[in-house]
Structure 1
Amino acid sequence: MLISYFDDYARDYEPYKAGAWCYEDGCLYRGLITLHEATGDRRWLDHLTRLVDAQVDADGGLADYRITEFNIDNIQPGHALLYLHRLTGQARYLDAARQLGRQLTHHPRIASGPYWHKLRYPHQVWLDGLYMAMPFKVELGLALGEQSVVEDAIAQFATALDLTFDAASGLYRHGYDESRLQDWADPDTGLSPAHWARSIGWLAMAFVDVIEHLPQGETRRDLSTRLTAMNDRLAALVTSDHRWLQVIDAPEATGNYPESSATAMFAYALQKSERLGIDRHAPLGRSALQALADLEVRPVEGGRRQLQNVCCVAGLGPFHGIYRDGSVAYYLTEAIRPDDIKGVAPLMMAEAERLLAEDLALTQQGEGRRPPAMNAV
């Protein structure tokens, strides 16, 4: 059922910001990449190529991309550029990826090293940004043979984990303000006040997408230990129907609800954690994936299906005339938007992980597996 839903969704997808290079489209690209890797099915590559080629010109220019915005979100779609370069050898994809690398070379940082979230969010580190930048930076460094780029990404990631960790809960806070100037920032810690599930979902995906590229050794062990501890907390906070709440540790809050994008992100990361040999929470991830398929991918008028209960967006600080204070109450006021790509894409990724596990089981039984994506160009 999910495969046909994803195929319909990708076929009819309209760029999130009228065709401008943006992370929302990049989320879909990542979902299509994982499905192609897991299945070798050409349709996912065809969708990916059609959508990316509409945003990358013959010289590697990116549609409406401006480096001087220093928007960390714009880095995330770079995964598709590196993937298509590996598959096709076309220089324009790598040239475009190098542009994003130049942004990261000059992107402003807080004093301890991690990047600002955006130029308009100065001195702030958000969990979202760790997913947007760090896995790509590691992949770019490996693609270019520049180990210093990889090492800087890992150092930033580890520092950001230290800064955003809340020891009392065992979870990570959405944002950290080095300057302590934001009203949402605790004057002592610089941390935002509540635990938004999707921000932790971005972090969970960043963990596994970084760790998979690291060799065995102290750095991989340290990040794996941190991820295992977080996954254990997720296991303790899952709802009775195998999902996670919008404000993940506040079940008593009026209006709190099982949120689909965070649940999909955790479904992906928990399965991938086990595939990488980090811990043994894949069954929890698969049960979350099944819960979304059963409870939230529902028919709507016209016969199509949509993924329900996706928080459209949430952030910190001023935005469109309101001040987002990072409180429990604030996160529960944000709009819910069915079929938002920030939920559908991680659902693709979670299903891709399930398919990989299924193939591994077949291989162990001597029944073979699907052809790898690299042979499906």
Structure 2
Amino acid sequence: MTLNLDEYFNAYASDYSYYKGGSWCYEDGCLYRGLIALYGASGNRQWFSHMKRLVDGQISDNGELRGYSIPEYNIDHILPGRALIALYKADPQPRYRTALDHLLRQLQSHPRTSAGPHWHKLRYPHQIWLDGLYMALPFKVEYAALIGDNALVDEALDEMLTGLELTFDAQSGLFRHGYDEERLQAWANPQTGLSPAHWARSIGWLCMALADTIEVAPPSEKRDALSQWFASLLVRLEALRTADGRWLQVIDQPQLDGNYAESSATAMFAYAFIKAARLGVKNRDAAVGIKALTSLEENALKPNASGRIVLQDICCVAGLGGFEGNYRDGTPAYYVSETLRDDDIKGVAPLMMAHAERLLAVADVSEQTARIAS
């Protein structure tokens, strides 16, 4: 069977059901990011139309977001706001701006750690998670550009740099999923406050946060510092690939019983490597990301029992602390115990983004070849 990613993505978006019944959530926001990336790379209006149809189904005429409440203080809810920015730029309806202002008000009052970055959620107090950096900070920079607020850009870059410093594990050269500044959680190291393992997707969220922030932020010393962090992390990640060019669920423990090549993280890293090369991040080559994307196509996109192509080997969800009656201790054994789900949006959306970056890379090579020939 010949795989056509555009057909796969179009069928996925056409059949997509809101992840949480239509309530405003980050999972839907991941899809919107993928569709925006495809539209930007290809110019094919169908991707923008899918995104607009779905977002419009979650927002009222007066700009209220379905199921959204500021006092919940869930940092995840900020991510889909990037779709509102794209929609407002294309069609400046007041309801899009009103909804954006709701999200900005959340960030203005969202609790913060003493070092500056926001708590991950109200129910996860005093904690920074890598995924939260992706959920909030590229939005801040994009929204700041929309309204011309240079102070908000500076704030976002400071938060990203602080988040990197607090979650970095110097011994491994990697970042830990979570940090508890109060050392109250059982998963938190009493000395460092860090969670105990390196979960690939959490580092994938971080890579996408760095790529997207560097792309949008204006030139500055802080942006340069983020690029240096990003370049160093990509060097370390390149050394941790599997033989076929993917990455493991617990990224630095190949001997761990039950460890496996996880598709969402692999797609995120593919996106990060290809985009880093486009952005001119030091010594980065798109080839690592393109190989990872090709490996996903060859090894993880397979027909299911009904014959439909699906993306396999996606960790459905993983976190830290109490959730649905269980305590997630953040150990390597915990991460490999979490359920896998075919075609989960947290894998499909980064696959869309990585494919979009590959399209841009191919177009750039073609343009350079044409210039040389002329």
Shorter chain as denominator, the TM-score bin is: over 0.9
Distance 2:29 2:224 in 1: 29
Q: Does 1:270 align with 2:273?
A: yes
For residue 91 of structure 2, what is the amino acid of its counterpart?
A: T
Alignment gaps of 5+ in structure 2: none
**Of 220, 237, 240, which residue of structure 2 is paired with 1:237?**
240
Question: Is 2:30 aligned against 1:27?
Answer: yes
Structure 2 counterpart of 1:374: none
Deviation at 1:299, TM superposition (A): 1.1
Residue aligned with 1:339, SS:
coil
Q: Is 1:318 matched up with 2:325? A: no
Matched, 1:211 2:214: yes
Regions of 4+ moved over 4 Å: none
Work out whether residues 24 and 77 of structure 2, in 8 Å CA contact, stay in contact via their aligned partners in 1: yes
> Contact (CA 8 Å) 2:153, 2:217: kept in 1 or not?
no
| 1:221-260 to 2 correspondences below 5 Å | 221-260=224-263
Q: Any idea what SS the aligned residue of 1:323 has?
A: strand
* Relative contact order higher in (CA < 8 Å, ≥ 6 apart): 1
2:142 paired with 1:100: no
SS of residue matched to 1:17: coil
Q: Which residue of 2 aligns with 1:351?
A: 355
Corresponding residue number in structure 1 for 2:114? 111
Alpha-carbon distance between aligned partners in 1 of 2:124 and 2:224, rounded to the nearest angstrom: 32
Letter paired with 1:13 = Y
Between 280-289 and 14-23, report the one with greater CA deviation. 280-289
Aligned to 2:12: 9
Q: Which amino acid aligns with 2:147?
A: L
Deviation at 1:337, TM superposition (A): 0.4
Aligned partner of 1:162 in structure 2 is 165
Deviations 1:108-135 (A, max 9, x none): 0010100000000000000010000000
Contact 2:31 2:345 in 1 (8 A): yes
1:151-190 maps to which residues of 2 (within 5 A)?
151-190=154-193
CA distance in 2, matches of 1:238, 1:224: 21
| Aligned-pair CA distance for 1:261 | 0.2
- Give the conservation status (yes or no) of the 8 Å contact 1:75–1:132: yes
Verify the 8 A CA contact 1:186 1:192 in the aligned structure 2.
Answer: yes
Q: Which AA in structure 1 matches 2:365?
A: A
After superposition, what is the alpha-carbon deviation per residue over 1:331-355, rounded to whole angstroms, capped at 9, x for unaligned? 0110000000000000000000000
Aligned partner of 2:345: which letter? I
**Partner residue of 1:90?**
93
State the match for 1:59 in structure 2: 62
Of 83, 87, 90, which aligns to 1:80? Answer: 83
Under a length normalisation based on structure 1, what TM-score does the superposition of the two structures give? Answer: 0.96
Contact 2:158 2:222 (8 Å CA) reproduced = no
Return the alpha-carbon distance in structure 2 between the equivalents of residues 40 and 4 of structure 1.
16
* Superimposed CA distance per residue, residues 287-322 of structure 1 (whole angstroms, 9 cap, x where no aligned partner): 000000111111123331100000000000011111
Residues 239-284 of structure 1 deviation map (CA, whole Å, 9 limit, x = unaligned): 0011000000000100000000000000001100010000323100
Q: Contact between 1:231 and 1:281, CA under 8 Å: does it hold in 2?
A: no
Equivalent residue in structure 2 for 1:36, among 34, 39, 60 = 39
Q: How far is 1:218 from its partner?
A: 1.4
Count of aligned residue pairs for this structure pair = 367
Structure 1: stretches of 5+ with no match in the other structure: 368-377
Aligned to 1:370: none
Q: Is the 8 A contact 2:116 2:162 kept in 1?
A: yes
On the 8 A contact 2:185/2:321 being kept in 1, the answer is yes
Partner residue of 2:123 out of 108, 120, 124: 120
Paired position in structure 2 for 1:201: 204
Structure 1 distance, partners of 2:8, 2:163, is 36
CA distance in 1, matches of 2:294, 2:238: 16
- Distance in 2 (CA, whole Å) between partners of 1:272 and 1:94 is 29
Amino acid at match of 2:350: P
Q: Distance in 2 between matches of 1:166 and 1:255?
A: 24
Q: Using structure 2 for the length normalisation, give the TM-score.
A: 0.97
Distance 2:195 2:329 in 1: 8
How far apart are 1:89 and its partner, in Å? 1.9
Alpha-carbon distance between aligned partners in 2 of 1:82 and 1:216, rounded to the nearest angstrom:
21
